[in-house]
Structures are given as structure tokens and as C-alpha cells.
Amino acid sequence: MTTRSTRKLLTFRYSFSLKGVDRLLPAGDYQVITDEAVIEDLSFPVYRRTSTMILAPSSPHEPTSIEMLTVDPDDLKQAHLRDSET
């Protein structure tokens, strides 16, 4: 199976929450990684998303410690839209 990963940077001006994350995430820049797998047996390459992760501080007391959290991409998009509206 062929896979690919893409990265993008999202900036949050305010702290925010995401479903499945048990804490409030602080304002800042967040690296978002999306993994996709190719759908086999087609005459042209088509990819489907298999996971979306965000790199976030592990704890407010350890800002240099980073963890990778699997998140719902739609929930992340909604959080970013809320942040840009305020």
C-alpha cells in the first residue's frame, strides 16, 4: 500500500479544545500531519485520508515536550474557524 503524509501549519490566537483531547490547548502554531493511502486498482492515483494528527505541547508545565494527538479533521477545522471569528 502506498501512503503519503502532508503537513501544514495552523495558528490559533486563543486556547481551544478538541474532541478526544482531555485538556485545553494553548494558543500558538500547530503542525498538522495528514496521512493518506492510495486506493488500489484504479487507472489513476486516488488517495483517501487515513489519519490526521496534531503536534501539541504535552503539558503547560513542559512547553518543550511535544506529543502527537490523533484528531478528527472536521473538529480541528471547526476549532480553527471559531478561533478566526473571535
- Name residue 4's beta-bridge partners: 36
Q: Does residue 62 sit within a domain?
A: yes
Domain presence at residue 30: yes
Cell of 18: 478538541
- Rounded to two decimals, the pTM is 0.85
Q: How far apart (Å, rounded) are the C-alpha atoms in residues 65 and 55?
A: 10
pLDDT band at 63 (very low <50, low <70, confident <90, very high): low
Band of residue 10 on the pLDDT scale cut at 50, 70, 90: very high
How many percent of the chain have pLDDT more than 90? 74
- pLDDT at res. 58: 87
Q: Is residue 86 part of a domain?
A: no
Is the pLDDT at 60 greater than 80? The verdict is: no
Name the domain count of the chain. Answer: 1
- Within-domain flag for 85: no
Answer for the pair 21, 69: CB distance below 8 angstroms, yes or no. yes
**Residue 27's domain spans which residues?**
3-80
